[in-house]
Chain A
Amino acid sequence: MTNHWNDVQHADAILIMGSNPAENHPISFKWVNEARSKRGAKLIVVDPRFTRSAATADIYARLRPGTDIAFLGAMISYAIDKNRINEEYVRNYTDAAYLVNPDFQGPVDLDGAFSGLTGAKYDKATWSYQMDENGIPKMDPTLQDPMCVFQLLKKHYARYTLKKASEITGCDVKALEAVCDAYTSTFKPELSGTIMYAMGTTQHTYGSQNVRAFAVIQLLLGNIGVAGGGINALRGESNVQGSTDHGALFHILTGYLKYPKANQPTLAVYNEQNTPKNNDPKSLNWWGNTPKYMASLMKAWWRDADLETAYGYLPKVDDGKNYSYLPIFSAMANGDVKGMFAWGMNPAVGAPSSKMIRRALAQLDWMVCIDLWETETSAFWQKEAGVDPASIKTEVFLLPAASSVEKEGSISNSGRWCQWRYKAIDPVGHAEDDLWIINQIVTRTKALYAKEGGAFPDPIANLTWNYSKGGMDPRINSPQPREVAKEINGYFIVEKEIEDKVKKEIKKFKPGDMVPSFAMLQDDGSTVCGCWVYCGSVSDTENKMMKRDPADPTGLGVFPNWSWSWPVNRRIVYNRASVNAEGKPYAKDKPVLWWSGLKKVWVGDIPDGNGDPDAILPFIMVPHGRGMLFAAGMSDGPFPEHYEPLESAVRNTFSSKQVSPVIMRWDEKAKEKTCNPIIAEGCIAATFGSEEIKDFPIICSTYRVVEHWQTGQMTRWLPWLAEMVPNQFMEISEELAKEKGIVNGQKVRITSARNVEGIEVQAMVTKRLKPFTIQGKTHHMVGITWHFGYKGLVTGGNANDLTPFIGDPNTMIPEYKAFLVNVEKA
Chain B
Amino acid sequence: MDITRRGFLKIAGGTLAAAGFGTGVGIKPAFAMPRKIQYAQEVPTICPYCGVGCGIIAHVRNGKVINTEGDPDHPISKGALCPKGGSLYQIANNDKRNKKVLYRAPGADAWKEVEWDWALEKITANLKKTRDEGFKLTNANGEVVNRCESIAAIGGAALDNEEVYALTKMNRALGLVYVEHQARI
Q: Which 4 A-B pairs have the closest CB atoms?
A: A429-B99, A235-B51, A409-B160, A413-B53
Q: Which A residues lie within 8 Å of B156 (CB)?
A: 239, 243, 246, 248, 343-345
**Contact at B127–A339, with CB atoms within 8 Å?**
yes
Q: Which A residues lie within 8 Å of B10 (CB)?
A: none
Q: Which A residues lie within 8 Å of B9 (CB)?
A: none
Chain A interface residue bracket vs B? 35 or more
**Contact at A373–B96, with CB atoms within 8 Å?**
yes
Of residues 13 through 71 on chain B, the ones whose CB sits less than 8 Å from some CB of chain A are 41, 43-55, 58, 60, 63-65, 68
Of residues 106 through 165 on chain B, the ones whose CB sits less than 8 Å from some CB of chain A are 106-109, 111, 116-117, 119-128, 130-132, 134-135, 137, 139, 141, 143-165
Q: How far is the CB of A687 from chain B (nearest CB, A)?
A: 22
**Contact at A323–B51, with CB atoms within 8 Å?**
no
CA distance A425 to B173 in the complex (A): 32
Q: Which A residues lie within 8 Å of B175 (CB)?
A: 315, 456, 459
**Contact at B180–A249, with CB atoms within 8 Å?**
yes
**Contact at B50–A312, with CB atoms within 8 Å?**
no
Binds B, one of A79-87, A612-620, A806-814: A806-814
**Contact at B51–A25, with CB atoms within 8 Å?**
yes
Q: Which B residues lie within 8 Å of A337 (CB)?
A: 149-152, 178
Known: A328-B154, A400-B97. A238 touches B163 (CB 8 A): no
Q: How far is the CB of B146 from chain A (nearest CB, A)?
A: 5
Q: Give the residue of A248, A393, A475, A714 whose beta carbon is less than 8 angstroms from that of B107.
A: A393
Known: A400-B101, A444-B120, A455-B131. A316 touches B146 (CB 8 A): yes
**Contact at B116–A6, with CB atoms within 8 Å?**
no
Chain B interface residue bracket vs A? 35 or more
**Contact at A410–B161, with CB atoms within 8 Å?**
yes
**Contact at A430–B101, with CB atoms within 8 Å?**
yes
B11 at the interface (CB under 8 A from A): no
Q: How far is the CB of B108 from chain A (nearest CB, A)?
A: 7
A709 at the interface (CB under 8 A from B): yes
Q: Which A residues lie within 8 Å of B92 (CB)?
A: 403, 405-406, 424-425, 428
Q: How far is the CB of B161 from chain A (nearest CB, A)?
A: 4
Q: How far is the CB of A406 from chain B (nearest CB, A)?
A: 7
Binding site for A on B (CB under 8 A): 2, 4, 41, 43-55, 58, 60, 63-65, 68, 73, 75-78, 80-85, 87-88, 90-92, 94, 96-109, 111, 116-117, 119-128, 130-132, 134-135, 137, 139, 141, 143-170, 172-185
Q: Which B residues lie within 8 Å of A220 (CB)?
A: none
Q: How far is the CB of B160 from chain A (nearest CB, A)?
A: 3
Q: Which B residues lie within 8 Å of A283 (CB)?
A: none
Known: A239-B157, A323-B177, A550-B75. A247 touches B168 (CB 8 A): yes
A445 at the interface (CB under 8 A from B): yes
- Per-residue 0/1 for A396-425: is the Cβ within 8 Å of any B Cβ (1 yes, 0 no)? 111111011111111111110111011111
**Contact at B172–A237, with CB atoms within 8 Å?**
no
CA distance A337 to B148 in the complex (A): 9
Of residues 295 through 326 on chain A, the ones whose CB sits less than 8 Å from some CB of chain B are 300-301, 312-318, 323-325
Nearest residue (CB) in A for B42 is: A424
Q: Give the residue of A314, A403, A413 whose beta carbon is less than 8 angstroms from that of B146.
A: A314
**Contact at A316–B107, with CB atoms within 8 Å?**
no
CA distance A442 to B90 in the complex (A): 32
Nearest residue (CB) in B for A375 is: B98
**Contact at A534–B94, with CB atoms within 8 Å?**
no
**Contact at B167–A248, with CB atoms within 8 Å?**
yes
Most buried by B among A419, A452, A474: A419
Q: Which B residues lie within 8 Å of A350 (CB)?
A: 182, 185
Q: Which B residues lie within 8 Å of A440 (CB)?
A: 116, 120
**Contact at B65–A709, with CB atoms within 8 Å?**
no
**Contact at B128–A439, with CB atoms within 8 Å?**
no
Q: Which A residues lie within 8 Å of B82 (CB)?
A: 26-27, 706
Q: Which A residues lie within 8 Å of B183 (CB)?
A: 240, 243-244, 248-249
A431 at the interface (CB under 8 A from B): yes
Q: Which B residues lie within 8 Å of A793 (CB)?
A: 96
CA distance A362 to B35 in the complex (A): 52
Nearest residue (CB) in B for A557 is: B75
**Contact at B143–A243, with CB atoms within 8 Å?**
no
**Contact at A397–B50, with CB atoms within 8 Å?**
no
**Contact at B164–A340, with CB atoms within 8 Å?**
no
Q: Which A residues lie within 8 Å of B44 (CB)?
A: 421-422, 548
Nearest residue (CB) in A for B148 is: A315
Q: Which B residues lie within 8 Å of A415 (CB)?
A: 53, 76
Q: Give the residue of A327, A394, A709 whose beta carbon is less than 8 angstroms from that of B84.
A: A709
**Contact at A238–B51, with CB atoms within 8 Å?**
yes
Of residues 338 through 389 on chain A, the ones whose CB sits less than 8 Å from some CB of chain B are 338-345, 347, 350-352, 365-366, 368, 370-374, 378, 381-383, 389
CA distance A544 to B135 in the complex (A): 41
Nearest residue (CB) in B for A24 is: B50
CA distance A438 to B174 in the complex (A): 12
**Contact at B83–A706, with CB atoms within 8 Å?**
yes
Q: Which B residues lie within 8 Å of A414 (CB)?
A: 51-53
Q: Which B residues lie within 8 Å of A677 (CB)?
A: none
Q: Which B residues lie within 8 Å of A532 (CB)?
A: none
Nearest residue (CB) in A for B119 is: A397
Q: Which B residues lie within 8 Å of A178 (CB)?
A: none
A30 at the interface (CB under 8 A from B): yes
Known: A238-B48, A313-B146, A456-B135. A246 touches B184 (CB 8 A): no
- Per-residue 0/1 for A522-554: is the Cβ within 8 Å of any B Cβ (1 yes, 0 no)? 000000001100100000000000001011100
Q: Give the residue of B43, B52, B116, B144 whose beta carbon is less than 8 angstroms from that of A25.
A: B52
CA distance A339 to B178 in the complex (A): 11
Q: Give the residue of B97, B108, B111, B157 whose beta carbon is less than 8 angstroms from that of A429.
A: B97
A157 at the interface (CB under 8 A from B): no
- Per-residue 0/1 for A129-167: is the Cβ within 8 Å of any B Cβ (1 yes, 0 no)? 000000000000000000000000000000000000000
**Contact at A709–B50, with CB atoms within 8 Å?**
yes
A623 at the interface (CB under 8 A from B): no
Q: Which A residues lie within 8 Å of B65 (CB)?
A: 405, 424-425
CA distance A324 to B178 in the complex (A): 7
A265 at the interface (CB under 8 A from B): yes
**Contact at B161–A242, with CB atoms within 8 Å?**
yes
Nearest residue (CB) in B for A266 is: B144
A181 at the interface (CB under 8 A from B): no
Known: A337-B152, A481-B160, A484-B165. A425 touches B91 (CB 8 A): no
**Contact at A456–B64, with CB atoms within 8 Å?**
no
CA distance A710 to B185 in the complex (A): 11
Q: Which A residues lie within 8 Å of B146 (CB)?
A: 312-316, 456, 459
Q: How far is the CB of B179 from chain A (nearest CB, A)?
A: 5
Most buried by B among A381, A407, A718: A718
**Contact at A27–B180, with CB atoms within 8 Å?**
no
Q: Which B residues lie within 8 Å of A239 (CB)?
A: 156-161, 164
**Contact at A718–B90, with CB atoms within 8 Å?**
yes
CA distance A448 to B131 in the complex (A): 13
**Contact at A426–B98, with CB atoms within 8 Å?**
no
Nearest residue (CB) in B for A475 is: B117
Most buried by B among A236, A238, A456, A813: A238
**Contact at A343–B167, with CB atoms within 8 Å?**
yes
Interchain residue pairs with CB less than 8 A apart (14): A6-B76, A30-B80, A31-B76, A243-B161, A243-B182, A248-B167, A254-B168, A315-B148, A344-B155, A350-B185, A371-B98, A395-B104, A398-B111, A714-B91
Q: Besides A243-B164, A248-B155, A248-B179, 8 other CB < 8 A contacts?
A: A246-B165, A325-B154, A374-B96, A432-B116, A454-B128, A460-B173, A706-B82, A707-B84
